[in-house]
Amino acid sequence: MAPHNIAFRSKREREKETKLLAHYKAIGIASIAAACAAVRRRTEVSRPLMQPQALTFRHAD
């Protein structure tokens, strides 16, 4: 088991870390949204438009 290493951090350092976490969270959410949009655009371009079809559902007994 690793020994616990307790280090003093100033209030400014803790606040900076909190701000960084919030900033990276915002960047991550925006990045994921952009990646999803890019994938959607690429699949819409590469996939031909499908004509609406009547779907029939069968009940599994």
Q: What is the pLDDT of residues 6-44, one digit of tens each?
A: 888 899 988 888 888 888 888 888 888 888 888 888 776
User: For tokens 């949009």, what's the residue?
Assistant: 37
Q: Which amino acid, one-letter code, is at 48?
A: P
Over residues 30-59, the mean pLDDT reads: 72
pTM of the predicted structure, to 2 decimals:
0.41
Distance CA 34, CA 20 (A): 21
Kindly list the domain boundaries of the chain, sorted by start residue: 10-45
Beta-carbon contacts of residue 23 (< 8 Å; ≥ 6 apart) = none
Nearest to 27 by CA among 38, 19, 16: 19
